[in-house]
Amino acid sequence: MILRKEYGFEAAHFIYNHPGKCRNLHGHSYKLFVCLEGTVNPETGMIIDFDDLSKVVVEKVIKRLDHHFLNDLIPLSTAENISVWIWEQLKPELPELCQIEVFETTDNCVIYRGA
C-alpha cells in the first residue's frame, strides 16, 4: 500500500545557466508530495501516523526550504535537483520512502523514486 501526503513551501531561486528568464531571481509556491510504501500495521491500522510523517518532513525539509533562497542549499536548484536533495534528507529517517513529487508550478512536476 502507498501512503501519500502533501506539503507546500515558498522559496526563491535562480538557475544560473538557464538560457531564458529562469536565470533571474524568482520564486515559486512549491507543492511536495511524499509517498511511503509499506504494509499496514495490524495494531494501528496505519503504515505510519500522518503526524509522525509530518514531524520528519517539516523538520528535515520544510523548515529548511520554506521562505529561503534555494541556491544556498542547492546551487543548481532545478526541480530535478531539488527532488534529489529532498530525497536525501528524508530517506535515512523514512526507509519506506518510495517516491516524491515536486511541483514547481501547478503544471510542472518532477517525480523521483531514488537512485
Q: Which three cell numbers stand for residue 71?
A: 541556491
Which entry of 22, 35, 98, 109 is annotated as an active-site residue?
Answer: 22
Strand, helix or coil for residue 9: strand
13 is catalytic: no
93 is catalytic: no
Sheet hosting strand 97-105, strand order edge to edge: 68-69, 2-13, 26-37, 97-105, 108-112
68 is catalytic: no
Which entry of 37, 67, 80, 93 is annotated as an active-site residue?
Answer: 67
Active site residues: 22, 67, 104
